[in-house]
Amino acid sequence: MGFSYVNDRLFCQNVDLAAVAQKFGTPTYVYSESILKRNAQVIKNCFIDRGVQVSYAMKANSNPEILKLFRSYGMGVDIVSAGEFKMAQHIGYKAGEINFAGVGKTNEELTLALEFGIDHFNVESQFELELLESRAAILGKNASVLLRLNPDIDPQTHPHISTGLKKNKFGMSPELVRHLLTHAKDYPHINFDGIHCHIGSQILRSQPFYDLIDYLALFTADLRSLNVEIAHLDLGGGFGVNYMDPFEDILETTPYLEAYVDVAQKKLSQYQLHIQPGRVLVANSAVLLNRVLGTKVNGDHYFVVIDGATTDLIRPALYDAYHAIYSHQKRETSRTGDVVGPVCESSDALAKQRELPEFCTDDLLVIASAGAYASSMGSTYNLRPLSPEVLITEAGEMKLIKRRQSFKEMISLY
Ligand SMILES: Cc1ncc(COP(=O)(O)O)c(C=O)c1O
């Protein structure tokens, strides 16, 4: 299943990655359908089958084929923009399967979602609540709302992907959430259905999740003592993956998933629970396939220059993130250096000071864990067209699920 060496050449399922490069060029994202299905099945078994509602956070990867696949396992979708809303509509998600999160929503975005009648909004500020109330009043609608609470819990992850600390821009203080819920009558077009928290991303330890459960148990007990009744608690996403060993099964990386549901359902038993996983469903399902343009030495620094770049995978530049590097053709010798792209920024590095397989011009260099926050964070900086995505189906077909952007398409915007 997934990615493995066959006769010293890296395959995705039964397809040699060299065949993908030959057919679609490089850089190209290559997805394994069997890994996507495995991940979806794990989330279904752990959460959906136990009555927890799952909304896939499409920011991690918004490819329609992936969305359709996850939907077929019973997942709804968590959106954060009008573009993601349009994509959800395009796929055919019903209104009741969509929730709208995000720290700032425009008038137009709220109106679009209200008109469609989406399941609920995760509201992050008082100004957003007031705007939603006024838009709902004008449209003669009622909006279901989960208030996003910032619990000030340290997720023990990279500072750029921590979202549940007081100093982060996300959510509202417990005092404000309590105030709004006890003044619900001031918002006649809002149904205050619950509370939402998302403390961060790439969380590998279970403790921050348990801290969140305990926090919410106390917070909701306090609300009950004030006669505030809510029905829903959304615990967000954040489950981490193993970037060091990208081909590991997600249940090995996050063995606490099942225990987490048990504890959440026990301690928060009065509530309908929701989660919004993103990364854990897609990160290990894809690699970024690149061609080596050449190698060079500056002083005592060795560089492998590839045709892929931070425009395809910005995580190393943005978060210092680690992505494992492989040679398509297994190599016996290695050399320490950086893997860099052609983009005109010193930060355009995909790996730094790594023990790398010894690469030569025209080799295929494979960057692992490129399924989450890779293609969806892609850009056209330096007028580099967006790279294509290929799904290796279980039947061994190379299915183009996003074509390479053409130069004409890029230039036609101007
Ligand atoms: C509100 C919210 N929910 C869910 C997610 C998905 O997080 P992850 O991909 O870590 O599961 C994010 C990620 O930023 C988020 O901001």
Domain boundary among 260, 281, 302: 281
Specify the 3-state DSSP secondary structure of 146: strand
pLDDT at 3 over 80: yes
User: Residue 161: what pLDDT?
Assistant: 58
Is the bond preceding 342 in cis, omega lying within 30 degrees of 0?
no
Total domains, the chain: 2
Q: What are phi and psi of 19, to 5 degrees?
A: -70, -35
Test site for ligand 1: of 276, 319, 369, most ligand atoms within 8 A of the Cβ: 276
Specify the 3-state DSSP secondary structure of 130: helix
Strand locations in 24-130 (E): 28-32, 53-57, 76-79, 98-100, 120-123
User: Residue 157: what pLDDT?
Assistant: 66
The larger pLDDT score, comparing residue 163 to residue 362, is at: 362
What is the pTM assigned to this prediction?
Answer: 0.96
Q: 66: domain CATH number?
A: 3.20.20.10
Could you give the percent of the chain with pLDDT greater than 90?
90
* Cβ of residue 61 lying under 6 Å from some atom of ligand 1: no
55 and 19 in a common domain: no
CA distances (Å), 8 to each of 17, 18, 207, 285, 328, in order? 12, 12, 40, 21, 8
pLDDT at 77 over 90: yes
Q: How far is the CA of 50 from the centre of ligand 1 (A)?
A: 21
Bridge partners, 192 (sequence order):
145
**pLDDT tens digits, one per residue of 26-40:** 999 999 999 999 999
* Cβ of residue 200 lying under 6 Å from some atom of ligand 1: no
260 and 347 in a common domain: no
User: Residue 169: what pLDDT?
Assistant: 76
Name the pairing type of β-strands 76-79 and 53-57: parallel
Q: Which atom of ligand 1 is nearest to the CA of 201?
A: 10
Q: How far is the CA of 200 from the centre of ligand 1 (A)?
A: 7
Test site for ligand 1: of 172, 201, 373, most ligand atoms within 8 A of the Cβ: 201
Residues identified as active-site: 344
* Cβ of residue 277 lying under 6 Å from some atom of ligand 1: yes
Structure tokens at 198: 């998302």
339 and 234 in a common domain: no
Domain boundary among 281, 304, 324: 281
Report which residue type is found at 265: Q
Could you give the percent of the chain with pLDDT greater than 70?
97
**pLDDT tens digits, one per residue of 383-408:** 999 999 999 999 999 999 999 999 99
* Cβ of residue 315 lying under 6 Å from some atom of ligand 1: no
Q: How far is the CA of 58 from the centre of ligand 1 (A)?
A: 9
140 and 270 in a common domain: yes
Q: Whose CA is nearest to atom 5 of ligand 1?
A: 237
* Cβ of residue 99 lying under 6 Å from some atom of ligand 1: no
Domain boundary among 281, 316, 348: 281
Structure tokens at 8: 């010293």
Q: How far is the CA of 163 from the centre of ligand 1 (A)?
A: 9
Buried b or exposed e, range 168-203, using 16+ CB within 10 angstroms: bebbbebebbbebbeeeeebebbebbbbbbbbbbbb
Q: How far is the CA of 276 from the centre of ligand 1 (A)?
A: 6
pLDDT at 174 over 70: yes
318 and 233 in a common domain: no
341 and 243 in a common domain: no
211 and 328 in a common domain: no
Q: How far is the CA of 172 from the centre of ligand 1 (A)?
A: 17
Q: Are 40 and 69 in contact (CB under 8 A)?
A: yes
Helix axis angle, 64-72 to 33-46, nearest 10°: 40
229 and 218 in a common domain: yes
Q: Are 313 and 27 in contact (CB under 8 A)?
A: no
User: Residue 164: what pLDDT?
Assistant: 61
Neighbours of 385 (CB within 10 A): 16
What whole-number distance in Å separates Cα of residue 155 and Cα of residue 142? Answer: 34
What whole-number distance in Å separates Cα of residue 48 and Cα of residue 41? Answer: 10
Specify the 3-state DSSP secondary structure of 159: helix
What whole-number distance in Å separates Cα of residue 72 and Cα of residue 50? Answer: 17
Domain residues for the domain of 95 are: 33-281
User: Residue 1: what pLDDT?
Assistant: 75
Question: Taking all residues of the chain, what is their mean pLDDT, rounded to a whole number?
Answer: 95
* Cβ of residue 149 lying under 6 Å from some atom of ligand 1: no
Residues 368, 27, 361: CA angle, nearest 5 degrees? 90
Q: 374: domain CATH number?
A: 2.40.37.10
| Out of 162-171, 261-270, 306-315, least confident range | 162-171
* Cβ of residue 328 lying under 6 Å from some atom of ligand 1: no
